[in-house]
Structure 1
């Protein structure tokens, strides 16, 4: 959990760092002040539920988060920072300098947030939250601006992003007119359990819109040949702990991807972080899965630069409408709660809840 507690509400905001120039400190400060104010002002809300009122009296909780940190630092430090990651973020003179600069950015943002929230609370007679910073899960929201999620590296420099929509969803229909490819979802199969290929097949119930994506720094000099999906678990943990130490005062949403060979060294490193009271709270551990052919139509599929460029040419060739908003207006005259991507693109969502299966067996 990123915000630990019970019987409470947490006011959250998120800064998209990939949209900010690393050299523009004023804009950074303004962005974090805005995020801090947007959570602080909600402390004026009065809950009807007594237990929520009591919880806020004891501990008002706010959380300012960010996403796109990895992208931000690539633009700040260049390809040399990526090569240091590739080497495992070793403790070298160059590495220590990179970590000092990472620390300065993170500490500065932390200070801006806490000063802003506390100043607002003091001026309005509100109890100060004793901690105000976190990194919340940010997979879907990061996609809105093309950011890598939270502090994590992206899945690849270039990849196909597949987003699940219901069949004939207005947004998906607009995507088709704009040139994006659409295929049936992983759950749509024929009588022989083979995946369907035609999205307009009567047996198809859901669509996957395929978007070729390139990270903002993919074409920076010196970044070619760096496979971000191969960064070691210890390097990921080291960067995560930088965020946990110098930015986060709640907890940092973290998923460390590791191979079999990395289980023991990562386990030792986590033990050391707990033993030495470094601030570690928790992180999810995920086995690194590299055989993409076993699971077709994954939500993220890494691709080469050549494939990315080819897919983009095909998108332009299929495009019927040059303006996406115009394409949307052809299928949706106004806001519809049913329009848009599915709430979850995970393959786990395709499995029935054991509770639901058990209940259905009783009828």
Structure 2
């Protein structure tokens, strides 16, 4: 509800701690002033309703009714946080869905799939206002077949809310990957990512042992995190940096800002404690596939940054940072500076980039007037989500960009391995583009390199991946020019409602590369 992404575990060892679901609990909405619980018109009020639902179904076994008479109606402005209210209906419907999932397990413990669905339903409630984000990563067991089929849309009956999370398996060794994991790699489902907790918890850069207390990762997999810890990210545009000295100068300037943010107070005391203990930051690098000749500068920059952290931390009476560097997936933010995203090659020479916006955002009408194509987003079941639209922007990567279609999956993995060694002491977030005929090569490479070199990785078919309205779509030069000729030049736009564009990073739970 605060605009940040979350990661959560649905491993057996974690969800086993949850109690059995109580029998016979009835939770009903009663929109009167004398209900058992009247939901306050605030984020805290919505959270309190969820707490009461979980407490009733897990602990007390007591039925209750609630009222949303105080919750403002859909479309009303939210002055503090921005955007517009989603209205009480999404809260009522989401609460009913959570109750439905849990009541199906009365007298039993929840399964991993149930916990996944509850977290995803919560995410779908959170994003309803179209300004709030709901980036989620679910971390499950590699042999959990219910979980592995959660996004196999070829099997049918996939609830729309499962779009809310990037699904990943805990996997410390290639030997832990069951053959069933690969069943969704044929374009018939979402390929699951891999998270190497063993490597993340013991090492910084490859081969360098590190003190660490992480339990999971952030939604895009570039930052290992302890429980209740949060990210602190910034980015260096390597393609726009001209010398090793300039790289170090930019790095130290970013570092000072990130370090100061670590020292700020946070809302939750548990978060305060772990952030102020670890002082973890994630200084990223993007434009790597345009800057191969500059990659040797990164090791020098890292050493200078680590040395400066000792001095600056001592001067300000702060702990030294447990980790300092990363590589983000870096979708739209890289495009703004003409950079290929993070460690990824350019998607294509010419492509469409889709960006999500709230349907009632004044920018949508401006985009339509300028000639950009706009359509409603589609749910998993093919229905339309009329609260959110996609705006299509024609893009070109320039004549010298390294393209995904010219880069093998193994070459992409080798670059991740290299950057993990010379730069990132957190992790390198990478969605490896692959073709179906490369799967055997991917498996062989992972069997030899994964355990000691890769902290997190995910995969996506470059074509025929099965995603409707994917963030990137390859087009040819003729199509690009055809779209461009219908687009008017941008003039000053009077946008006064203060609403934010959705979809810049990790929108709707989806990685910006996926």
Answer yes or no: same fold by TM over 0.5: yes
1:65 to 255, 280, 284: 284
Report the Cα distance in structure 2 between the residues aligned to 1:213 and 1:233, rounded to whole angstroms.
23
- Decide whether aligned partners of structure 1 residues 122 and 334 sit closer, same or farther in structure 2, where only a CA change above 3 A counts: same
Indicate conservation of the 8 Å contact 1:162/1:300, yes or no.
Answer: yes
Tell me what 2:399 maps to. 219
Give the C-alpha shift of residue 45 in structure 1: 2.4
Tell me what 2:49 maps to. none
Unpaired runs of 5+ residues, structure 1, are: 77-100, 196-202, 350-363
User: Comparing both chains, which one has the higher relative contact order based on Cα–Cα distances under 8 Å and sequence gaps of 6 or more?
Assistant: 1
2:243 to 19, 24, 45: 24
Give the C-alpha shift of residue 188 in structure 1: 12
Say which is worse superposed, 56-65 or 46-55, in terms of deviation: 46-55
Higher helix share: 1
- Decide whether aligned partners of structure 1 residues 291 and 346 sit closer, same or farther in structure 2, where only a CA change above 3 A counts: farther
Tell me what 1:198 maps to. none
Report the Cα distance in structure 2 between the residues aligned to 1:347 and 1:38, rounded to whole angstroms.
27
Tell me what 1:353 maps to. none
Give the TM-score normalised by the residue count of structure 2.
0.50
Indicate conservation of the 8 Å contact 1:12/1:62, yes or no.
Answer: yes
Q: How does 1:19-98 map to 2 (within 5 A)?
A: 20-21=240-241, 23-46=242-265, 49-56=268-275, 58-73=277-292
- Decide whether aligned partners of structure 1 residues 121 and 227 sit closer, same or farther in structure 2, where only a CA change above 3 A counts: closer
Give the C-alpha shift of residue 56 in structure 1: 4.4
Give the TM-score normalised by the residue count of structure 1.
0.68
Indicate conservation of the 8 Å contact 1:12/1:64, yes or no.
Answer: yes
2:464 to 291, 307, 315: 291
Report the Cα distance in structure 1 between the residues aligned to 2:317 and 2:462, rounded to whole angstroms.
51
Report the Cα distance in structure 1 between the residues aligned to 2:276 and 2:467, rounded to whole angstroms.
49
Report the Cα distance in structure 2 between the residues aligned to 1:32 and 1:251, rounded to whole angstroms.
17
Indicate conservation of the 8 Å contact 2:346/2:403, yes or no.
Answer: no
Report the Cα distance in structure 2 between the residues aligned to 1:315 and 1:26, rounded to whole angstroms.
41
Give the C-alpha shift of residue 151 in structure 1: 0.8
1:282 correspondence with 2:456:
yes
SS across alignment from 1:185: strand
Report the Cα distance in structure 2 between the residues aligned to 1:341 and 1:47, rounded to whole angstroms.
24
Unpaired runs of 5+ residues, structure 2, are: 1-216
SS across alignment from 2:344: coil
- Decide whether aligned partners of structure 1 residues 48 and 304 sit closer, same or farther in structure 2, where only a CA change above 3 A counts: closer
- Decide whether aligned partners of structure 1 residues 230 and 124 sit closer, same or farther in structure 2, where only a CA change above 3 A counts: same
Report the Cα distance in structure 1 between the residues aligned to 2:407 and 2:457, rounded to whole angstroms.
17
Indicate conservation of the 8 Å contact 1:188/1:204, yes or no.
Answer: no
1:155 to 347, 350, 374: 347
1:303 correspondence with 2:470:
no
Report the Cα distance in structure 1 between the residues aligned to 2:509 and 2:273, rounded to whole angstroms.
39
Q: Deviations over 1:120-142 (max 9, x none)?
A: 11211211114211123322433
SS across alignment from 1:39: helix
SS across alignment from 1:315: coil
Q: CA RMSD in A?
A: 3.3
